[in-house]
Amino acid sequence: MILDLILDPILDLILDRGACVGSVYHPQQSVLKPQEGQRQTACMRYISAPQRSQTMAASASCAGGRLDFTGVIRTGRASEKGARPFFGSASDMSGLWHALPTAAQLDNLHVEIMSDGWIDDQLVARGIADARVLDAMRRVARDVFVPDDSHGAAYADRALPIGSGQTISQPYMVAVMTEALRLTGAERVLEVGTGSGYQAAILAELAREVITIERRPELAETARQRLAALGYTNVEVVIGDGTLGSPAHAPFDAILVAAAAPHVPAPLKQQLSDGGRLVVPVGPSDQQTLHIVTRLGEQFTQTLGVGCVFVPLIGAEGWS
């Protein structure tokens, strides 16, 4: 009875804000044909960071127009990225009495209770198998990194414009390139082409430190502020010519280039640590192929990955 009195107003508020969906989310529904009662913005769980002091889980479903909670609302202990409310074990009541979610926190619940079925449809079904990469893709909310008018397509399987003639990469390509780096968690990673900051956030989930270079100051500053607001303390955004790498931060255990180069930039190869891997799309503007370069001492081996299409890599070792 007491629990009902506490939870009922919360449930009503959640439903009023459209946080409940009655069907499994398909990434194209929010773009082509949103179903009745479904949020226009596709959402997912948003709980991130390898440094997080505890793992939080969300579990909620919709039945008969009401949220069917399998547990009670609790709040996590604050961490580097700030804990959000989540649904915990029904046997653990301690958090319920300490801090019920505020209206502002309820506004954010949609990012935790939305189905992450798009991961299976777009990534697992197409061969992405690294569990850490899949977990990072689940935790980082892509809709946070796209313009407001693109929220409805945030989880569609395609690149989206972010302004200044740049794009946020297709989720599948983000996963492919990240998986190719074979990150274990202890690496220093260089990203060339910060853009919105989405790829940097994925890398920050998987590596010890991320240096990301963006040549456009307006994009760099927006990404810096966004990543800081999300609590990423292991990412440094640098303004400069990414084709030249960042000698001041080298060597790097992994380098990811998020734009198409006419050839593999030599400075990036030289800034790899022994055993380090570089992933870069190479080719003309209409079609490229991923090149995966591995350094072994002073030798470099190269393998080819999937075909792709990226915006041009501009700089001294890129397109002019």
Q: How many angstroms separate the CA atoms of 109 and 53, rounded?
A: 20
- CA-based torsion, 77, 80, 84, 88: positive or negative: negative
CA distance 112 to 265: 40
169 catalytic? Reply is yes
Please tell me the distance from the alpha carbon of residue 201 to that of residue 205, in angstroms, as a whole number. 6
Q: Is the peptide bond before 147 cis (omega within 30 degrees of 0)?
A: no
Catalytic residue among 30, 48, 169, 246: 169
Q: What is the largest CA-CA distance in the chain?
A: 71
Distance, in Å, from the CA atom of 200 to the CA atom of 218, rounded to the nearest integer, reads: 16
Query: Which ranges of 108-244 does DSSP label H, i.e. alpha helix?
Result: 110-113, 117-118, 131-139, 171-181, 198-206, 217-229
What amino acid positions are annotated as catalytic residues?
Answer: 169
